[in-house]
Structure formats: structure tokens, C-alpha cells
Amino acid sequence: MTAVDNLWYLADEADQQAEQTHHQLQSAHDGITEFTKTRWVSRRRFRTVAQRISENGLPYGAHALVTDDNGAVLLVRHRDVDMWVLPGGEVDGEESFEAAARRELTEEAGIEATFDGLALLGRVEFHGDGHTTWGVLPIYEAEAETTELTVEDPDGEIVRARWFETLPDDARDRSVLQSWLEDD
């Protein structure tokens, strides 16, 4: 007897949730810069990502693009991807996306910031084992209120936080961030 593969159904559910989330964010925020990323993943990773997207439309949670008074950008070093990334992470329960980005900022860098709406709205497309789905990556704009950095990440994924006057070569999504910083 052959087991029925429901991955196509999960991908379809994820697509529907991503579409709703994208529409809600796009409608609530004017003039957002949008971008698209594509990822090829294993079948197992595809299932995990599609399940996350089915919950709230987000494969990676919500993030913050934080600058200080001098225009330096805050990035955190993610242990698992070995790159500098924007602080952020998964949404807990009924938490708003912005609240999740704010909480993650506090955990991963130990600072407070004033949030000023959505800066970037990403569409992340996933391909795995003949299946395709997509999710939304909201990135909120924020201005640092404090600048002394302390990493207290309960997941242990973030090993360092640092301010950058110039984006490092190994910053994730460097070209998207650079473009936004130049336009801002």
C-alpha cells in the first residue's frame, strides 16, 4: 500500500496564508519596498517551512532594521548560518508581528528602539522535491533609543551583536539592505 503524500496540500495551505498575510501588511503600510528571495530546500525542510507559513504566513518570523543616530545598522551574528543578519525571529502565539520584532531585538541585542512601520516586505519562495510555496518576511524600521549591545538570546542562535557603518560582505540579504539604506 502506498502512503498518500499531503505535501502538496500543505504547500497550498501555506500559499493561502501567505497571500492573506501579504495583503494585510501591504494594505496597512504605504510605500513599502518589496523584494523576492528564492530558496531550494530539502523535502524535510520544505515541510517544516510550509507548516510555519500555514500558521501565520511567515517562514522566518518578523525582523527589525535598526539604525542609530549616526546611520549605523545593527546586525547580529547567527550561529547556524554563520552570517550577519537582522535581529528577528518567530512570532509567539497571538503576538503581533511588530511586537515579535521588538521582543527579538531585545533578546538578541539588548536594546530598545522606536519602531516606525514596515521598511521592507519580502516574498520568500521555497522549492523542494517538486513542490513550491512562499511566505512573507516583514522587516520593521526602527531607530535605536539605546546603543549598548547585550546578547541574551534564549535559543542560543545569536552569538554577537554589532553596529555597522558599512554592511559586511557576509551580511544576509546585503544587496536588499544596501539598496534600502541608500534610498532612505
Digit-by-digit pLDDT tens for the chain (184 residues) are 344 578 999 999 999 999 999 999 999 998 889 999 999 999 999 999 999 999 999 999 999 999 999 999 999 999 999 999 999 999 998 999 999 999 999 999 999 999 999 999 999 999 999 999 999 999 999 999 999 999 999 989 999 999 999 999 999 999 999 988 888 7
Q: 108: exposed, middle or buried (C-beta count within 10 Å: 0-12, 13-18, 19+)? A: buried
Answer for the pair 142, 116: CB distance below 8 angstroms, yes or no: yes
C-alpha cell at 74: 545593527
Integer Cα distance of 80 and 142 in angstroms: 25
C-alpha cell at 25: 501588511
Residues 6+ apart with CB under 8 A from 43: 7, 128, 129
Integer Cα distance of 37 and 123 in angstroms: 6
C-alpha cell at 13: 495551505
Q: 165: exposed, middle or buried (C-beta count within 10 Å: 0-12, 13-18, 19+)? A: exposed
Sign of CA dihedral 92, 97, 16, 38: negative
Catalogue all structural domains in the chain, each as residue range(s) with its CATH number. 7-183 (3.90.79.10)
| pTM given for the model | 0.94
Residue at grid coordinates 518578523: 62
